[in-house]
């Protein structure tokens, strides 16, 4: 009996991934790091990054460029450029590099506030030096808090099960439309499918300050938060317009939140009368002008709807 080969064509899932990665492929880079050893520049590892502007600005992670004397950026087509460090923010593990290249198409940045748990995402980077590696997964959770390399807590993190390995740091997390919605940053050692990315909305805000000032000055409240969906019964009982809010998982000892009376288990739904549904929204509100100034925070605690007065502090490095 003669077998018949039937070409069913490529499935839609694969086509979606291919089309999304093709949209960002020219913007994703491998970052080679060099240090001095006995007065000689020697390689010290690799990382990832991506071009987000037509005039040569790139995102990567702060921990990728720490204690490095020279950085080389290599595109998928093989061309390479020396990179200049514009600024870094260890508290969000973000850094901005600049190269003298103007003939590459930058990646399109999306809106991480539009992400939903279960949504497909694509991670692109250079794990263990293998250039331009693509993995896929889903958004496992939103608004996570995670202790970063600097030791400080990073808020508003995207949790995903898209496989990351050393070398992926600084690469893009991409949605099905080919828009970058996160900067890959961390894996939890000893686990599988537990990876994290900095939301692109946080990255946009940080980039604006790094490019202008070379550093970020911010206020903070001293609480670990998790983004949650509000059930209809809770929204109806408290007459809330929010569909989402921020669940307090931990309150920092002697921090602004503790002094204001915030407790673990509280749900923050507004800050200064502005609805607060995501960690990114709270991050934007906690700008430099809020440091040392009384602010108002609306919370749900059980059956109570409370307003707390809080004085954000300046968050140092």
Beta-sheet pairing, 80-89 with 70-75: antiparallel
User: In CATH, what number does 23-98 get?
Assistant: 2.40.10.10
CB contact set of 13 (below 8 Å; sequence gap of 6+): none
pLDDT at position 48 is 94
Quote the pTM value. Answer: 0.73
pLDDT at position 123 is 94
- Please list the residue range(s) of the chain that carry CATH number 2.30.42.10: 219-314
Burial (CB count within 10 angstroms: exposed 0-12, middle 13-18, buried 19+), residue 12: exposed
Rounded distance between C-alpha atoms, residue 257 and residue 265, angstroms: 13
Lowest-pLDDT range of 35-49, 50-64, 152-166? 152-166
Q: For 95-143, how does the pLDDT look when each residue is reduced to its tens digit (9 = 90+)? A: 999 999 878 899 999 999 999 999 999 999 988 777 889 999 999 999 8
Lowest-pLDDT range of 96-100, 198-202, 274-278, 284-288? 284-288
pLDDT at position 132 is 84
Q: Which residues are catalytic?
A: 63, 93, 169
Question: Mean pLDDT of all residues in the chain?
Answer: 88
Q: For 46-102, how does the pLDDT look when each residue is reduced to its tens digit (9 = 90+)? A: 999 999 999 999 999 999 998 889 999 999 888 999 999 999 998 889 999 999 987
Rounded distance between C-alpha atoms, residue 142 and residue 245, angstroms: 11
190 — pLDDT class (breaks 50, 70, 90): low
Q: Which CA distances in Å does 69 have to 17, 36, 64, 93?
A: 36, 7, 12, 18
In the chain, the N- to C-terminal Cα span, in Å, equals 73
Backbone angles phi, psi at 197, to 5 degrees: -135, 150
- Please list the residue range(s) of the chain that carry CATH number 2.40.10.10: 23-98, 112-205
Fold of 112-205: Thrombin, subunit H (2.40.10)
205 — pLDDT class (breaks 50, 70, 90): confident
Lowest-pLDDT range of 26-35, 59-68, 141-150? 141-150
Name the CATH architecture for the domain at 219-314.
Roll (2.30)
CB contact set of 235 (below 8 Å; sequence gap of 6+): 242, 243
Rounded distance between C-alpha atoms, residue 157 and residue 138, angstroms: 14
């Amino acid at each position: 009996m003669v077998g018949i080969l039937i070409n069913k064509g490529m499935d839609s899932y694969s086509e979606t991934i291919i089309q999304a990665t093709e949209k960002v492929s020219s913007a994703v880079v491998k970052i080679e790091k060099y240090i001095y050893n006995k007065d000689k520049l020697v390689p010290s590892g690799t990382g990832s990054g991506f071009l987000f502007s037509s005039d040569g600005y790139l995102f990567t992670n702060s921990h990728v460029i720490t204690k490095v004397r020279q950085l080389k950026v290599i595109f998928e087509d093989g061309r390479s450029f020396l990179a200049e460090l514009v600024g870094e923010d260890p508290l969000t593990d973000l850094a901005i590099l600049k190269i003298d290249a103007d003939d590459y198409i930058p990646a399109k940045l999306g809106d991480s506030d539009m992400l939903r748990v279960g949504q497909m995402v694509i991670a692109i980077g250079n794990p263990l030096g293998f250039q331009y590696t693509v993995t896929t997964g889903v958004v496992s959770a939103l608004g996570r808090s995670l202790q970063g390399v600097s030791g400080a807590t990073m808020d508003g993190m995207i949790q995903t099960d898209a496989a990351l390995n050393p070398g992926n740091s600084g690469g893009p997390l991409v949605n099905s439309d080919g828009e970058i919605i996160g900067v890959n940053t961390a894996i939890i050692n000893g686990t599988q499918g537990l990876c994290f990315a900095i939301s692109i909305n946080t990255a946009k805000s940080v980039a604006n300050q790094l490019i202008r000032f070379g550093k970020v000055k911010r206020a903070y409240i001293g609480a670990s938060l998790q983004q949650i969906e509000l059930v209809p019964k809770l929204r109806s009982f408290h007459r809330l317009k929010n569909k989402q809010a921020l669940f307090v998982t931990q309150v920092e000892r002697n921090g602004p939140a503790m002094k204001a009376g915030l407790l673990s288990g509280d749900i923050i739904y507004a800050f200064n009368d502005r609805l607060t549904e995501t960690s990114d929204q709270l991050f934007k509100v906690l700008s430099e002008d809020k440091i040392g100034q009384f602010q108002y925070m609306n919370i749900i605690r059980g059956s109570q709807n409370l307003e707390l007065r809080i004085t954000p502090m300046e968050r140092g490095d």
